[in-house]
């Protein structure tokens, strides 16, 4: 019985990873408008008033360059007021903005201030906002697992 369950889980993950639902998720993703200004701690607000949460490096490992230190610009993150100290080994910053649907928009800011918008390390819309036990579980199942099956977004 457990073998059938594992096979069914693998088929479901393969289907989810190659489905239109997964590959077209970025139709719901949005980027910040203008500069991001620190409100408090790791909370930022864009020029349209939208709240963005800076994620810790531990929640950003899949969006960093591959094991190579990056040469940082003289002024890293020029469109971020209240920027953290830049780390050449983990230079990309991950921001999440919760949506009213239980998900979150996700952007990856590179040290030059541009958002990473293509390739397997770009930010993608999250169907499950990774907050709390339930949110982290939804994020792992709905967002992370399908990405490992297929990270080729449209």
Residues 87, 122: Cα–Cα separation, whole Å: 19
Q: Within a domain: residue 119?
A: yes
Q: Within a domain: residue 4?
A: no
* pLDDT value of residue 74: 92
Residue with the two structure tokens 């928009």: 105
Q: Within a domain: residue 154?
A: no
Residue 8 DSSP SS3: helix
Q: Within a domain: residue 5?
A: no
| pTM to 2 decimal places | 0.85
* pLDDT value of residue 77: 97
Residue 44 DSSP SS3: strand
Q: Within a domain: residue 40?
A: yes
Q: Which domain holds residue 109?
A: 33-149
Q: Within a domain: residue 50?
A: yes
Q: Within a domain: residue 86?
A: yes
Q: How far apart, in Å, do the first and last CA atoms of the chain sit?
A: 37
SS (H, E, C) 112-138: CCCECCCCCCCCCCECCCCCHHHHHHH
Structural domain tally of the chain?
A: 1
Q: Within a domain: residue 10?
A: no
- Residue 73 pLDDT greater than 90, yes or no: yes
Q: Which stretches of the chain are DSSP H helices?
A: 2-18, 20-23, 132-139, 145-149
| Average pLDDT estimate for 53-67 | 90
- Residue 41 pLDDT greater than 70, yes or no: yes
């Amino acid at each position: 019985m457990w073998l059938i369950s594992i096979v069914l889980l693998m088929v479901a993950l393969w289907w989810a990873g190659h489905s239109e639902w997964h590959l077209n998720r970025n139709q719901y993703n949005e980027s910040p408008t203008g500069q991001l200004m620190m409100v408090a701690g790791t909370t930022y607000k864009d020029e349209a008033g939208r709240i963005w949460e800076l994620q810790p490096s531990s929640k950003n490992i899949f969006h960093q360059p591959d094991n190579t230190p990056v040469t940082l610009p003289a002024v890293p993150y020029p469109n971020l007021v209240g920027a953290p100290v830049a780390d050449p080994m983990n230079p990309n910053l991950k921001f999440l903005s919760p949506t009213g649907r239980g998900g979150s928009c996700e952007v990856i800011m590179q040290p030059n201030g541009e958002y990473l918008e293509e390739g397997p390390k770009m930010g993608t819309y999250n169907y499950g906002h990774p907050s709390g036990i339930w949110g982290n579980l939804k994020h792992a199942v709905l967002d992370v697992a399908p990405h490992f099956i297929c990270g080729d977004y449209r």
